[in-house]
């Protein structure tokens, strides 16, 4: 096969890029966001202006970067990609903004991690397509306004609530991405398997989708691991049993929980007898930032019915104890 022999990291990256849908119509699921976004884009095409600024929120791997690329493609515009952590000084942002061409799409991933001064510069740029450059220091400092070409900002964040109100308000449209249903993930997998020239039965797709944590990025990654397994075991057609055996080899959780998800549940059950416990305490125990636990692990655990939020803190449900193979203590404080 032509891919054999290329460096693995390069191959993985190339595959991830190749598997990205290029048009809105190829983007699976997220029907609400897709319909709304399609209207925004069509309207701006009719008006022949840069599209309104778009904010996309949702956990990692659900398609925010892919949508930004699709927006640029549908607008036939160039795309610039950067991230909040990369923009620490307002000057970094000024340099990017002033180099944008007419109609260009600027994608800022993790936009909630931008520094305060950069954020304030962005407000004005989004609204008036202008930045104020400060020249000189102290009493002699003056601000020189610099006109920008009209551009479309696409911001991505794990939760819209992490953005300060004034920044959030300047987006014309906010789309919230949800976890994908198993059926939607099977559609993603079917398309990817076709591109990878893999033979997978319906049962095989069901098995992989059920372990993909509602996330297309994970689904595609598991599919590639199943492909490795099938290649080595000389299995031409991957059925449910083969997919299951392959994923067991990689110790993929039957519910698709990842290391952080499991760490949170384990800490909750083994250190706090199932809770209730505050989010920040849990975060410290698993060695993660509170924000990561709240926006990355918790939404999936809640959706799967493994963790519940109560006014007094987070608690592990019976299903969580069962999934971890632990016995719940007799008198739990609920």
Interface residues toward ligand ADP, by CB under 6 A: 16, 19-21, 27-30, 60-66, 156, 188, 216-217, 220
Nearer Cβ to ligand ADP, position 68 or 263? 68
- Report DSSP state, residue 99: T
- Report DSSP state, residue 277: B
Nearer Cβ to ligand ADP, position 21 or 175? 21
Nearer Cβ to ligand ADP, position 216 or 276? 216
Among residues 152, 157, 158, 174, the one annotated as catalytic is 158
Q: How far is the CB of 123 from ligand ADP (least distance, A)?
A: 24
Q: How far is the CB of 153 from ligand ADP (least distance, A)?
A: 15
Q: How far is the CB of 159 from ligand ADP (least distance, A)?
A: 13
Residue 217 annotated in ligand binding: yes
Residue 51, H or E segment: none
Residue 119 annotated in ligand binding: no
Among residues 217, 221, 261, 295, the one annotated as catalytic is 217
Closest of 75, 58, 283, 298 to residue 180, by C-alpha: 58
- Alpha helices (H) along the chain: 8-19, 31-47, 64-74, 90-98, 116-128, 165-169, 182-195, 202-210, 216-232, 240-249, 259-266, 272, 279-286, 290-292, 298-303, 318-324
Is 310 part of the annotated catalytic residue set? no
Which tokens is 194 given? 């076709």
Q: DSSP 3-state assignment of 178? A: coil
Q: How many CB atoms lie within 10 A of CB 92?
A: 16
Residue 61 annotated in ligand binding: yes
Is 281 part of the annotated catalytic residue set? no
Is 82 part of the annotated catalytic residue set? no
Sheet of 173-176: strand order equals: 79-83, 105-109, 152-157, 54-57, 173-176
Q: Annotated binding residues, as ranges?
A: 19-20, 61, 64-66, 127-129, 170, 180, 217, 309, 314
For the annotated catalytic residues, the residue numbers are 64-65, 109, 158, 217
Summarize the annotated binding site for Mg(2+) as residue ranges: 65
Which residues belong to the annotated binding site for DNA? 309, 314
């Amino acid at each position: 096969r032509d891919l054999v022999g290329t460096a693995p990291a390069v191959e993985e990256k190339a595959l991830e890029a190749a598997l990205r849908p290029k048009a809105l119509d190829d983007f699976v699921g997220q029907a609400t966001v897709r319909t709304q976004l399609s209207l925004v884009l069509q309207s701006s095409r009719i008006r022949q202006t840069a599209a309104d600024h778009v904010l996309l929120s949702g956990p990692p791997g659900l398609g925010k970067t892919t949508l930004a690329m699709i927006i640029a493609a549908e607008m036939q515009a160039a795309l610039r990609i950067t991230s909040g952590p990369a923009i620490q000084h307002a000057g970094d942002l000024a340099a990017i903004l002033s180099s944008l061409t007419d109609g260009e799409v600027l994608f800022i991933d993790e936009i909630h991690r931008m520094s305060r001064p950069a954020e304030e510069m962005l407000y004005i740029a989004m609204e008036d397509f202008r930045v104020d450059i400060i020249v000189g220091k102290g009493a002699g400092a003056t601000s020189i306004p610099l006109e920008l070409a009209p551009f479309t900002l696409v911001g991505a964040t794990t939760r819209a609530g992490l953005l300060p109100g004034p920044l959030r308000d300047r987006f014309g449209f906010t789309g919230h991405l949800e976890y994908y249903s198993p059926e939607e993930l099977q559609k993603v997998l079917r398309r990817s398997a076709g591109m990878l020239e893999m033979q997978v039965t319906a049962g095989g797709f069901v098995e992989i989708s059920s372990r993909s944590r509602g996330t297309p990025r994970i689904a595609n990654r598991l599919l590639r691991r199943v492909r490795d397994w099938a290649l080595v075991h000389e299995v031409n057609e991957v059925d449910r049993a083969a997919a299951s055996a392959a994923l067991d080899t990689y110790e993929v959780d039957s519910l698709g929980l990842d290391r952080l998800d499991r760490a949170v549940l384990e800490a909750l059950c083994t250190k706090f007898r199932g809770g209730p416990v505050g989010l920040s305490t849990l975060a410290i125990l698993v060695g993660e930032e509170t924000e990561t636990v709240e926006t990355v692990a918790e939404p999936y655990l809640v959706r799967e019915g493994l963790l519940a939020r109560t006014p007094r803190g987070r608690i592990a449900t019976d299903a969580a104890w069962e999934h971890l193979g632990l016995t719940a203590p007799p008198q739990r404080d609920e």
